[in-house]
Structure 1
Amino acid sequence: MIEKEKLKDYANKLMFDLKEEEYDFLQKEIELVLEQAAFIEQIEAIKDVEPMRFPFITYETELRNDEVEESLDISDILRNVENSYLDQVKVPKVVS
């Protein structure tokens, strides 16, 4: 059982300002969590189970190799755009 004075000390250190009924509620909640943890510890062979890091099966795939290809000429690209500035395509502002 966790003491109310200890909760008040933790709340003070964390700069929380709780009312008396909130301490009672918090004390009951922590008791419940501790009971559930004790229940889990009673499961046989719990120490043999590897902790789950991610709830879904992930498949590792290899990335494709980079292949060098000839790129377009910058002058050809800029000839087809409405606005350009310093060899860059200028686009309308999206975020205001």
Structure 2
Amino acid sequence: MIGLAMRNHSIFFLIIYFLLSGISTAPAQNQETQSTVTLQNRTVDSLNSILSATTHDTSRVNTLLELASEYYLSTPSKAMEYCEQAKTISEKKNYK
């Protein structure tokens, strides 16, 4: 009987330990996520600036594909829009 009570306490303390260790790393993960989002926003802003200033079709296609790669994990629908635009320009110019 004592062994069962001791085992239950051990399990209880293990659960508490894992819960507390998860809580202590949550703010760090949140901060890392915010840094990644900020970096992605800067990259997207830069690529959009390049896109609006570029008239050369090859550069536009490459920039659109870079924008798509920035969005493919976070916003796949937006990534597809950029891919479709790149495809349209490529087909119009008969790129391969």
Structures share fold, TM-score greater than 0.5: no
Q: Which has the higher strand share?
A: 1
Q: Return the index of the structure with the highest Cα Rg.
A: 1
TM-score (norm 2): 0.30
Which structure carries more helix by proportion? 2
- Using structure 1 for the length normalisation, give the TM-score: 0.30
